[in-house]
Amino acid sequence: MPDRLPLSRRIAADLRAAITQGELAPGAVLPSERQLIAQYGTTKATAGKAIAFLVAEGLVTTEFGRGTFVRRRPPLRRVSAARRHAAHRETGKPVFDVGAASQGRVPSRRILFVGRMPLPAHAAKWLHAARDDEVVVRRRVQFLDGEPVVVSASYYPLWLAADTRLESPEALPEGPDELIESLGYRFFRGVEVFSTHMPTPEETELLELHAGVPVMHMWDVDYDEAGRPLQAAHDVYAGDKHEFIYEWQESDIQP
């Protein structure tokens, strides 16, 4: 029964309902701890715990000295791989940038590492390679309006990437897909694999995650017509800052 829940959970449920039903709109300020204490006849610790639940869910943000606010920004919507290359060809921009711009967001990125390194075990199977084979790696953090939302690592086989701009520490404004195609390779099919985990300490720091927020891991692997992996991208998404959309049409399911 709801009334058997701890009071902090009941307070959080009331506030959550007010947010989801639109009583507290994006940007609205939540009742203060003092107001919650008076309304529910509780303690500062219990009121603070109720707010912490909502922060962990990504529904609200706290600003020191100002209060707690309903999140203004919707999560970034990521399109499926079936539409990724089409969107890239239409705009000439990386798909992350296209999705951000379509929602009025400003994308940016910070490079963490570019260069050759031994292939990590978790990436080896996707490139059809052996662990510790040398590959080209591009690792970066991607931002929306200055807020970190994705940690990305892309792995490229040396037969494709050696001595190309994929090894350059500079940004690739056209995106790696177009660069790979300019080298004479053609994307033929792809696969995406999703799994949910709790973040590592590094992911928590890079993505500035609140306690309790999970991350979504996605492997996005592209192959040429001969079945060779052209690239394997490993993206770690902040769970409270994204949603994923998949669409289909009749031509996708016809034999």
The residues facing 118 across adjacent strands are 134
Based on the fold, state whether residues 81 and 197 are members of the same structural domain. yes
Based on the fold, state whether residues 147 and 195 are members of the same structural domain. yes
Based on the fold, state whether residues 188 and 90 are members of the same structural domain. yes
Based on the fold, state whether residues 90 and 39 are members of the same structural domain. no
Neighbours of 5 (CB within 10 A): 12
Based on the fold, state whether residues 62 and 80 are members of the same structural domain. no
- Which tokens in the block code for residue 108? 């940016």
Distances (CA, A) of 78 to 11, 35, 74, 102: 33, 38, 12, 11
Angle between helices 33-40 and 7-20 (to 10 degrees): 110
- The predicted-structure confidence for 215-247, as pLDDT tens digits, reads as follows 999 999 999 999 999 999 999 999 888 887 777
Pairing label, strands 215-223, 189-197: antiparallel
pLDDT at 100 over 50: yes
- The predicted-structure confidence for 120-166, as pLDDT tens digits, reads as follows 999 999 999 998 899 999 999 999 889 899 999 999 999 999 999 99
- The predicted-structure confidence for 46-86, as pLDDT tens digits, reads as follows 999 999 998 877 788 888 778 899 987 666 666 665 555 56
- Which tokens in the block code for residue 91? 């705009």
In this predicted structure, what is the pLDDT of residue 80?
A: 61
In this predicted structure, what is the pLDDT of residue 1?
A: 39
Q: Which of 70, 102, 126 is the last residue of a domain?
A: 70
Distances (CA, A) of 4 to 7, 8, 39, 41: 8, 11, 18, 16
Based on the fold, state whether residues 16 and 50 are members of the same structural domain. yes
- Look at residues 124, 158, 121, 120 and name the one whose alpha carbon lies nearest to residue 139: 120
Based on the fold, state whether residues 95 and 157 are members of the same structural domain. yes
Based on the fold, state whether residues 33 and 123 are members of the same structural domain. no
Q: Which of 53, 70, 87 is the last residue of a domain?
A: 70
Q: Which of 55, 70, 85 is the last residue of a domain?
A: 70
Q: How far apart are CA 29 and CA 70, in angstroms?
A: 7
In this predicted structure, what is the pLDDT of residue 245?
A: 76
Pairwise pLDDT comparison (165 vs 209), residue with the higher score: 165
The string of DSSP letters for 111-180 reads EEEEEEEEPPHHHHGGGT--TT-EEEEEEEEEEETTEEEEEEEEEEEHHHHTTSGGG-SS--TT-HHHHH
CATH (domain of 199)? 3.40.1410.10
- The predicted-structure confidence for 103-122, as pLDDT tens digits, reads as follows 777 888 999 999 999 999 99
Based on the fold, state whether residues 113 and 191 are members of the same structural domain. yes
CATH (domain of 57)? 1.10.10.10
Q: How far apart are CA 106 and CA 175, in angstroms?
A: 16
* Number of folded domains that form the chain: 2
Based on the fold, state whether residues 36 and 87 are members of the same structural domain. no
% of the chain at pLDDT higher than 90: 58
Tell me the longest C-alpha to C-alpha distance in the chain: 69
- The predicted-structure confidence for 22-41, as pLDDT tens digits, reads as follows 899 988 999 999 999 999 99
Q: Which helix (H) or strand (E) holds 82?
A: helix 81-91
Based on the fold, state whether residues 65 and 102 are members of the same structural domain. no
Contacts for 8 with CB less than 8 Å, ≥ 6 apart: 46, 47, 49, 50, 53
- Count of residues for the chain? 255
**Residue 38: which domain range?**
2-70
Based on the fold, state whether residues 16 and 80 are members of the same structural domain. no
- Which tokens in the block code for residue 37? 């204490």
